[in-house]
Amino acid sequence: MSSSDTPPSLYAAREPVFPRRVSGFFRSLKWWIMAFTLGIYYLTPWIRWDRGPEMPDQAVLVDLASRRFFFFWIEIWPHEFYFVAGLLIMAGLGLFLFTSALGRVWCGYACPQTVWTDLFILVERWIEGDRNARVRLWNAKWSLHKARLRITKWIVWALIGLATGGAWVFYFTDAPTLLVNLVQGTAHPIAYSTMFILTATTFFFGGIAREQVCIYACPWPRIQAAMMDEDTITIGYRDWRGEPRGKLRKGETGPAQGDCIDCMACVNVCPMGIDIRNGQQMECITCGLCIDACDDMMAKIGKPRGLVDYLALKDEVDERAHRKHAPIMKHIFRPRTILYTALWSVIGFALVFALFIRPEIDMTVAPVRNPTYIVQSDGTVRNVYDVRLRNKQGEPRPFGLSLNIGTNLSIHVEGVDGTLVIVPADEMKQVRVYVDAPKGSPESTTDRSPFTFWVTDLNNQDRASVGTIFNGRTN
Amino acid sequence: MSKKPEKKEVGTTGHSWDGIEELNNPLPRWWVWIFYITIVWGIWYTIAYPAWPLLKGATEGYLGYSTRAEVAADIAAVDAKNADLVGRLEAADLNALSGDAELYQFAINGGRAVFAANCSQCHGSGAAGAKGYPNLLDNDWLWGGMIEDIAFTVTNGIRNEHSPDARWTEMPAFGELLSKEEIAAVVEHVRAISGQEADAALAAAGETVYLDNCAACHGDVGEGLRDMGAPTLNDAIWLYGGDVATLTETVTNARFGVMPAWSDAYHPAGGLSAAEINAVAAYVHQLGGGE
């Protein structure tokens, strides 16, 4: 048993992190990815896509009211939700693949938490200055100057948050109409409340909570360890090259001193506020900014780059033994990543295949089993079926229902003289269909007789069929 | 990989398993505050909303919120929204109802609910009926299958004491009027005209008995008579059964099927309004057998 004498504090205050500006390859890469991902997020709802006069012309639209998902030329109905499920599985497997190959590359470059935090830090730097100025401002007493900078920053953050929440609601209804309604104050309260909540969460997560979300709130950092092994590329510090570290003084560089000059550049730029020289740790999102910072410093003191670098655990063993470590591709292509890629591709191909063989006519037949059959006064035995016809096109379509040939059964539709059903554009229509077996026919006295419903689009003669069962009278 | 040095030494909880100790790391400040806020919220919630159980019921809550009142308000809102349709349905010409697509759909949907709540106990949830309770899905109607006939039957019922307009006829119990042999013969005759297996000699003898006693209501060839509610005997549908034993019992003791008058004119507490009766008539009419 060991416990401290004084009871420990119940809480730990956040230690503020003031990441310094850095430039380099990975920083540029992050800027480009930020511009690309934010561009997709903010601009997608504004892309138009012509689907005909009765259909929405927004390229990407989650139409909750009429239960449709539009994605450019693809339209997903609720019964095709497996496409969405498949995409989610692909997203999961893709995450596994990238994590096992490149470590927390999602966290470092593409996670919305990282991207928005990066954007918020950028704003902070524009308004309050770089690291040293921000530390000074943090420690300064409240003054008019501090208040002006803080309030300006908060306003810009809130505007970014507002744009984030605004873009979100545009995905759910026609964006230009909604924008006009939002400005006029006539939009649905749910649009306003959603925007308010997303503005508040963006402000809080990007401006205040930042790295704490990754450390305390997100489950993903803890799960990722299960996907990483000694071939996974993570960020490492070559301590066999850098240690013993020490300040660089002219003419005092002893032969025993390592390359690390303890300039703290890698620590100062870290958005997670950690020291990468302590080794790989839970907080590290492998964003690569410390590599940029260290490479910059190594260039200035005339040492080779890569004291802090993307490394696999295996590389450390090789380098310590003065062997050449395996090329990065050797790390990436290994059974585990190949398996993830294969699974990912199989699901992807299956989804694309399913998308292409989707029928233009969609019919489902539900036999009414309450009761299983009805006897008419002339001895005819009747079965009833609920038939759903889906019209996935942008104009009304006339459908004719019929049965397979070679059967004694006859068919008619409730409320209609014949078997013609007109289904409005982009809608599902359910009709009750009566199928009669004349008295004395085999179907009328057989327990189960299979037969087939055919539906024909009378405009273009497209056909589809569904098999079902006729229940005769056996007593 | 080197271990991250602790800035401040953290105590342990004293728990140790195989030498692995549980560190007593403090929680982040914001987490602790949220924890405190939830406690305050919880207390406020029990004051504002119904919460604490008492011997009878529970505390009502400062805000006076009640799910029951909310449901009542929702129902009132729906009723107000449907008031126009209900008014139109009440005054509708039933024969022309299917021409008004909106009203017709409203009637069928409402009729489905009325049927499930009031009619399905006897006629079955699928309206297939049971012995003595007519099947409403077929094309055989005792009193008429036009939508107005159905509405009249629902309004006034059959053979009841409540409505003076109830459909009312009564089959005599022929056990007191005919001999056992005559009843056996007429049963065979009825089986013969309905296309079932029958003793030809007995059936021929039964024809005279039938024409003398039954044809007045059931017709010369068993075609039935709607004005009398007399079932058609020469078809495949039987309300009580077409086998010899059931037919013999029917002829001997007669049948007396009763249906309540559903109009709220006769049952002010639990009856159906005119609009509800029109709705359920429209629903039953479109189940497949309507005329």
Q: Which residues of B touch A280 (CB under 8 A)?
A: 1
Q: Which of B88, B29, B134, B122 is nearest to B278 (CA)?
A: B88
A4 touches chain B (CB under 8 A): yes
A272: burial class by Cβ within 10 Å (0-12, 13-18, 19+)? buried
**A2 and B12: CB-CB below 8 Å?**
yes
**Cα separation of B167 and B156, whole Å?**
7
A17 touches chain B (CB under 8 A): no
Q: What is the pLDDT of residues B73-102, one digit of tens each?
A: 999 999 999 999 999 999 999 989 989 999
Could you tell me the fold of the domain covering A361-470?
Answer: Immunoglobulin-like (2.60.40)
Residue to mutate among B237, B238, B284, B285, with most A CBs inside 10 A, is B237
Q: Which residues of B touch A415 (CB under 8 A)?
A: 98, 286
DSSP letters, B209-241, are: HHHHHTHHHH-TTS--BGGGTBPPSSSS--SS-
Helices B180-193 and B200-213: crossing angle in degrees, nearest 10, is 100
| Distant-in-sequence contacts of A101-104, Cβ < 8 A, 24+ apart | A101/A232, A101/A233, A101/A331, A101/A332, A101/A337, A102/A232, A102/A233, A102/A286, A102/A332, A103/A224, A103/A228, A103/A232, A103/A233, A103/A234, A103/A235, A103/A286, A104/A221, A104/A224, A104/A234, A104/A284, A104/A285, A104/A286
Measured between CA atoms, how close is B245 to chain A, in angstroms? 17
Measured between CA atoms, how close is B21 to chain A, in angstroms? 9
In the sheet that holds A74-76, the strands lie side by side as A60-63, A68-71, A74-76
A414 touches chain B (CB under 8 A): yes
Q: Which residues of A touch B29 (CB under 8 A)?
A: 11-14
- Are B158 and B257 in contact, with CB atoms under 8 Å apart? yes
pLDDT of A258: 83
Residue A182's identity, in one-letter code, is: L
A–B: how many Cβ contacts below 8 A?
A: 104
**Cα separation of A232 and A328, whole Å?**
10
DSSP classification of residue A282: T
Domain with CATH 2.60.40.10 in chain A: 361-470
Helices A112-128 and A131-139: crossing angle in degrees, nearest 10, is 80
Give the global pTM: 0.69
In terms of CATH architecture, what is B70-166+259-285? Orthogonal Bundle (1.10)
Instruction: Please report the sign of the dihedral spanned by the C-alpha atoms of residue A273, residue A274, residue A280, residue A283.
Output: negative
Same fold, B70-166+259-285 and B174-253: yes
Q: Which residues of B touch A376 (CB under 8 A)?
A: 138-140, 236-237
- Are B69 and B259 in contact, with CB atoms under 8 Å apart? no
pLDDT of B208: 94
Could you tell me the fold of the domain covering B174-253?
Answer: Cytochrome Bc1 Complex; Chain D, domain 2 (1.10.760)
- Are B95 and B146 in contact, with CB atoms under 8 Å apart? yes
**B32 and A11: CB-CB below 8 Å?**
yes
Please report, for residues A213, A272, B226, the alpha-carbon distance to residue A275 in angstroms, rounded to integers and kept in the order given.
19, 9, 96
Q: Provide the residue ranges of all domains of chain B, joining segments of one domain with +.
A: 13-65, 70-166+259-285, 174-253
**A11 and B195: CB-CB below 8 Å?**
no
Q: Are strands A463-470 and A449-457 parallel, antiparallel or unpaired?
A: antiparallel
pLDDT of A2: 44
**Cα separation of B182 and B175, whole Å?**
10
Instruction: Please report the sign of the dihedral spanned by the C-alpha atoms of residue A245, residue A249, residue A253, residue A259.
Output: positive
Question: Which region holds residue B288: left if phi is over 0, alpha if psi is between -120 and 50, else beta?
Answer: left
**B2 and A278: CB-CB below 8 Å?**
yes
Measured between CA atoms, how close is B132 to chain A, in angstroms? 16
A279 touches chain B (CB under 8 A): yes
Low-confidence ranges of chain B (pLDDT < 50): 1-6
Which residues 177-216 in chain A show a CB within 8 A of chain B? 209, 212, 216
Residue to mutate among A3, A9, A11, A283, with most B CBs inside 10 A, is A11
Tokens 């008579």 found at? B225
**A374 and B135: CB-CB below 8 Å?**
yes
Q: Which residues of A touch B232 (CB under 8 A)?
A: 377
Q: Which of A288, A113, A123 is nearest to A215 (CA)?
A: A113
**A374 and B138: CB-CB below 8 Å?**
yes
Low-confidence ranges of chain A (pLDDT < 70): 1-10, 249-255
Nearest to A216 among B12, B31, B125 (CB): B31
**B28 and A212: CB-CB below 8 Å?**
yes
**Cα separation of A228 and B289, whole Å?**
68
ipTM over 0.95: no
DSSP classification of residue A164: H
pLDDT of B242: 92
Q: Which of A464, A471, A435, A436 is nearest to A450 (CA)?
A: A471
A53: burial class by Cβ within 10 Å (0-12, 13-18, 19+)? exposed
| % of chain A residues with pLDDT over 70 | 96
A475 touches chain B (CB under 8 A): no
Rounded (to 5) percent helix, strand, coil in chain A: 45, 20, 35
Which residues 220-249 in chain A show a CB within 8 A of chain B? 239
